[in-house]
Structure 1
Amino acid sequence: MKHRLTVQYFRPTDAGAFEAAYRERHVPLAQAVPGLERLTVSTPHGADDAPYLVAELWFADRDALKAGLASPEMGLAAADAETYDVAHRVAFTGAVEDLLP
């Protein structure tokens, strides 16, 4: 079963600087994580408390996710994420259940 790491970034102090750093520096770091099958980002619209940006990192299964999380490449990406001037960040993992036939 597919597994995913989801990271939500809330209210960057400087949206332009955040976007530039995220796309130019962070995305290449994340792309290097072993076992990563898919990397998506979305920018939710709606409520004031919605995240500014949501990143999803997809892996083949739980073992691939665990290996990716433990990798030096993920360590570099995580350290980079700590440098962003955002109100807060939420990260969580889980199995993905596809409900379409």
Structure 2
Amino acid sequence: MFRMTVQYETPADPEAFDRAYFERHVPLCRTLPGLVGASFSKPRPLGPGPAPYLVAELDFADGEAFRAAMTSPEMATVGQDAETLPAARVMFTGEVSGG
């Protein structure tokens, strides 16, 4: 499995962010070709330091499926919409192992 993780910083208006994210952005993400699973969480820190406001994990069968999704018209739409979300984000990808 191959995963794209997106971490969002706390937005100035969390309610507006949640509305835009869950009502508009998530449905767009669910159209990505090759997507086999998606999860969304709002982590809370266990110790000192801040946690991201929201973490999204998008799973694909493998790196090839992920690369195909990244060049799809659906991903172009998702990317354009992501630019309108009112929160800074960090994205990273990698193979998922069961260690």
Scaled to the shorter chain, the TM-score interval is over 0.9
CA distance in structure 1 between the partners assigned to 2:83 and 2:50 by the alignment: 21
Structure 1 runs (4+) deviating above 2 angstroms are none
Shift of 1:48: 4.6
Question: 1:13 and 1:55 mapped to 2: Cα distance?
Answer: 19
Cα deviation digits, residues 32-75 of structure 1 (max 9, x gap): 00000001001010155211000000000010010011111111
SS at 1:12 equivalent? coil
**Residue matched to 1:24:** 23
What's the counterpart of residue 58 of structure 1? 59
State the Cα RMSD in Å: 1.0
Q: Give aligned-pair identity as a percent.
A: 51
Q: Secondary structure at the match of 1:40?
A: strand
Segments of structure 2 that go 5 or more residues without pairing to the other structure are none
Amino acid at match of 1:51: P
Aligned partner of 1:91 in structure 2 is 91
Amino acid at match of 2:72: S
For 2:38, the equivalent position in structure 1 comes to: 39
Matched residues in 2 for 1:85 and 1:49: separation? Answer: 18
- TM-score between the two structures when normalised by the length of structure 2: 0.93
